[in-house]
Amino acid sequence: MMTADELRKKPQLYYDDVEVGQAMPTLVIGPLTPTHLFRWSSAIENWHRIHYDQSFAIYHDGLPNILGQGSWKQSIMPRYLKDLCLPDGWPWKVSFQHRAMIVPGDTITCWATVTGKREQEGLGYADLEVGMRLQNGVESCPGTATIVLPIRGGRPVPYPFVPLKSA
Amino acid sequence: MGRWIAIGTAPGWGDIAKFGAELAETSKWRPDPQTTITTVFALGDGRLLAECHAVRQEDFEAWLRQRGWQVESLTPIKHLAKTGSIWKVS
């Protein structure tokens, strides 16, 4: 388990050090508060009341509480993958589903496990199974991702990264 | 999903430190992903009032038992007024 700051400051991850089945460092965020949710709604100008008006969320929409925004999760997952790869790797692509609601009080653990790896034209591609697990073990955002990592002694990952057509 | 109000008593919950300890962690008011204790009032006469959002009344009853409540009444909510808005609940 790592904090956001520890994840950002970790040593560079190299393709050589990644094995299929390997669990990546996790990132723990939370417990979330209404302030977190309101701050995100303000930042992206999402004024749907289910994200900041508790009475409306609970009694009008029949929800258990105000809800964490899907767009917030869509920002956290790429940030997590970026922090796994950078400064010299690249979070190439990610796809995940929104399954379970996230509400204030929840603690989220972003996780990734390596499911495949391949070397192409001097770059290391690692496929990942990813998710955002809640404190009760419920998986909120199951999905997959691919990151591109430098190989020790190899060429740098281009910035910005342009995927090979064959990758 | 349904909503219910329970009125009752629980040992020590009149003390704010104990009350907070009983409810501080998420797992204590959200025992499973489909059961949420949305509000708990500690009333001045020593009684407690809790509202639950859950699939079944039994899920709320299980929480009340687990937390040591002596329940006086447990009733579904029909509708309510909240800060000027009136909503039908069930």
Q: What angle do CA A11, A16, A18 make, to 5 degrees?
A: 75
**What is the pLDDT confidence band of residue B84, given thresholds at 50, 70 and 90?**
confident
CB atoms within 10 A of CB A99: 13
Tell me, letter by letter, the H, E, C secondary structure of chain A: CECHHHHHCCCCCCHHHCCCCCECCCEEECCCCHHHHHHHHHHHCCCCHHHCCHHHHHHHCCCCCCCCCHHHHHHHHHHHHHHHHCCCCEEEEEEECCCCCCCCCCCEEEEEEEEEEEEECCEEEEEEEEEEEECCCCECCCEEEEEEECCCCCCCCCCCCCCCCCC
Residue of chain B whose Cα is closest to the Cα of A104: B26
- Out of A59, A107, A134, the one facing B80 most closely (by C-beta) is A59
**What is the pLDDT confidence band of residue A166, given thresholds at 50, 70 and 90?**
low
B38 at A interface, C-beta within 8 A = yes
State the best of A55, A58, A103, A106 to mutate against chain B, taking most chain B CBs within 10 Å: A58
Contact A64 B83 (CB under 8 A): no
Size of interface A-B (CB pairs under 8 A): 41
Report the pLDDT value the prediction gives residue A113, as an integer from 0 to 100.
Answer: 98
How close B4 comes to chain A (CA, Å)?
Answer: 12
How close B12 comes to chain A (CA, Å)?
Answer: 24
Contact A64 B38 (CB under 8 A): yes
Contact A100 B33 (CB under 8 A): yes
Reply yes or no on whether the pLDDT at B86 is more than 90: no
DSSP state of B90: -
User: Which residues of B fall within a CB distance of 8 Å from A63?
Assistant: 53
Express each pLDDT in A93-124 by its tens digit: 999 999 999 999 999 999 999 999 999 989 99
Report the pLDDT value the prediction gives residue A167, as an integer from 0 to 100.
Answer: 63
Instruction: Give me the residues paired with residue A130 across strands.
Output: A112, A143
Token representation of residue B13:
């919950």
- Out of B1, B32, B83, the one facing A136 most closely (by C-beta) is B32
Express each pLDDT in B28-83 by its tens digit: 999 988 899 999 999 999 999 999 999 999 999 999 999 999 999 999 999 988 87
